[in-house]
A and B are shown apart, each in its own frame.
Chain A
Amino acid sequence: MHYRRETMNIYVLLKRTFDTEEKITISGGKINEDGAEFIINPYDEYAVEEAIQVRDANGGEVTVISVGTEEAEKQLRTALAMGADKAVLINTEDDVENGDQFTTSKIIAEYLKDKDADLIIGGNVAIDGGSGQVGPRVAELLNIPYVTTITKLEIDGTNVSVTRDVEGDSEVIETSLPLLVTAQQGLNEPRYPSLPGIMKAKKKPLDELELDDLDLEEDDVEAKTKTIEIYLPAKKEAGKVLSGELNDQVKELVHLLHTEAKVI
């Protein structure tokens, strides 16, 4: 395929998640969201930052996409305040009750299929569901290459050099646009939205779509997995804080690990 473009058409996949400080409680068999603080998924924040840096270096436009409810508007506005140009909320509130990673990736791919995206960036995993599936699924549905858990991205024309974190080791990978990458910690230092950024963000376009607008029926995006139970881990009993002479404490600890806990 002959492929050339003057400026970059960049998309960011963003998820609204619980703040990392939040305690998790369950009510009615579901995670209780009442009164919880929500943030941009931390790994998606790296994705937003990287997209802005790529645009500033190469020219082009950054569009941030989120699939969810209208409450995700707040996180999309934050991304606009950081410097993204446009936002798209695909509101599934009325159409999808129990979606999964298939659902989300199908919707995103359907939206992106005629957008001529050069670069799509997402977080490598969301800290709530923790599956890390949506990025690679979208790439496969769009039939473009992808590289996950990246810590460095260098673009020269349509050639791309990516550094990928592989369980602590690094791989340097050569590939080309169009491309989907997922961000790992260390990729960059996400900026805080500035006050002028926040003011400007209010005027930037934030489009809202529903499944209908993408010619999708509810059946097309029906989940292929089902959650049958959600529960909290058993509360740990208070541990044993040792006392006495330090030497004796250490001896006792080794003895306990050997005979009581039997892990050594």
Chain B
Amino acid sequence: MTRKVLVLGETRDGSLRNVSFEAVAAAKTVAEGGEVVGVLLGKNVSALGAELIQYGADRVVVVEDEKLDQYTSDGFAQALLAVLEKESPEGLVLGHTSQGKDLSPRIAAKLSSGLISDATAVEVAGGNVVFTRPIYSGKAFEKKIVTAGLVFATVRPNNITPLPKDESRTGEVASLSVEIKDLRAIIKEVVRKASEGVDLSEAKVVISGGRGVKSAEGFEPLKELANVLGGAVGASRGACDADYCDYSLQIGQTGKVVTPDLYIACGISGAIQHLAGMSNSKVIVAINKDPEANIFKVADYGIVGDLFEVVPLLTEEFKKLKVHS
């Protein structure tokens, strides 16, 4: 059965986020050959429509308004509901980002629809669109279908492969005028803490430190390694509780869940709560002084040693590799 599927493209600092291209790929699967329509909401976003099409959308609907300059639940819900009403799609896909998590349940409630949050895979099987999602913080998985309403899901960043960018693809980018009425919650101020550098949830490489890092300064060698690999720095709860770093870096059952290609755990013992946040990473490297540390049980590669010796050596070795390749 073919479906018309809408995808909300999410922007950050004037660019589309990677997760939006992943969401387009998911929408293609859901559509089963039907039309995939990108949706862009913001103040000045229509120029990004072409890129959404190059990644697989057939056309794009844009709602531009001063009140959509920053994400608010009220503003974005009004705009997206107006697009949904005009397009009457059978499916809807968003990224499972801060924005997608905030907005999608409201849309689902408004439409009395099912919603599958935080999907890591989508397939068509036995006539159903089947989503896979982690439960119990990745200690188990479930396969789930929507039985009423839209085929509606949010997709976890870094899990669904985007379609290759095709610069020859073109399509219509049309604007829809929506009157955005009163916003009941208004953003007064944004304090940037985490977004210098690479976003943790979307990073392909994560270098993570635990209590073994011993101090805030102890994170410096980890940051250098992250810089060389174009990755992000994360932390265990232990390191955050000890005030070595901000809680925004925390990976675990409480905290962020990450699934990078490469996760390097430095001085992290590997408590079950931490494993819940990173054990689905594609390749895990553990560096720890204690050969009995739990982290070695989930690691693909391990080095038993002092992180303050190992990490700088690794940084140098990766630099050499970069020069050669």
Contact = CB atoms under 8 A, between A and B. Distances in A.
Does A associate with B in a complex? yes
B137 A231 contact: no
A261 interface: yes
B201 A257 contact: no
A241 B291 contact: yes
Interface string B44-67: 000000000000000000000000
Contacts of A209: none
Contact of A140 (B110, B246, B299): B110
A127 B106 contact: no
A119 to B, nearest CB: 14
A167 B101 CA distance: 11
A43 to B, nearest CB: 7
Interface string B261-278: 110000000001100100
| Chain A interface helix/strand/loop/mixed | mixed
B82 interface: no
Contact of B301 (A43, A174, A240): A240
A173 interface: yes
A262 B185 CA distance: 46
A169 interface: yes
Contacts of B309: 246
A129 B141 CA distance: 10
Interface in B147-195: 147-149, 184-195
Interface residues of A, number: 79
A66 interface: no
B250 to A, nearest CB: 7
Contacts of A31: 135-136, 140
Interface in A231-264: 231-233, 236, 238-242, 246-247, 249-251, 253-254, 256-258, 261, 263-264
Interface stretch (A78-86, A87-95, A142-150, A194-202): A142-150
B310 A231 contact: no
Contacts of B136: 18, 24, 31, 127-128, 130
Contact of B300 (A171, A233, A261): A261
B301 A253 contact: yes
A261 B77 CA distance: 43
A225 B185 contact: no
Contact of B184 (A133, A145, A172): A145
A137 interface: yes
A168 B116 contact: no
B143 A224 contact: no
A100 interface: yes
A169 B108 contact: no
B250 A185 contact: yes
Contacts of B117: 130-133
Interface size class of B (residues with CB under 8 A): 35 or more
A130 B135 contact: yes
B188 A172 contact: yes
Contacts of B134: 130
A22 B225 CA distance: 34
A92 to B, nearest CB: 18
B118 interface: yes
B280 interface: yes
A54 interface: no
Output the residue of A141, A146, A166, A230 with the most chain B CB within 10 A.
A166
Interface stretch (B85-93, B213-221, B312-320): B312-320
A233 B191 contact: no
A169 B195 contact: yes
A140 B137 contact: no
A142 B273 CA distance: 35
15 contacts: A20-B273, A23-B139, A101-B108, A127-B137, A133-B115, A146-B106, A168-B193, A168-B246, A226-B145, A228-B144, A228-B145, A230-B140, A241-B291, A253-B314, A257-B301
Interface of A: 18, 20-21, 23-24, 26, 31, 42-43, 100-102, 105, 127-137, 139-141, 145-149, 161-162, 165-176, 185-186, 222-233, 236, 238-242, 246-247, 249-251, 253-254, 256-258, 261, 263-264
Given A229-B143, A232-B139, 11 more contacts: A20-B276, A42-B254, A100-B114, A136-B109, A167-B194, A168-B249, A224-B112, A224-B147, A225-B115, A239-B284, A239-B286
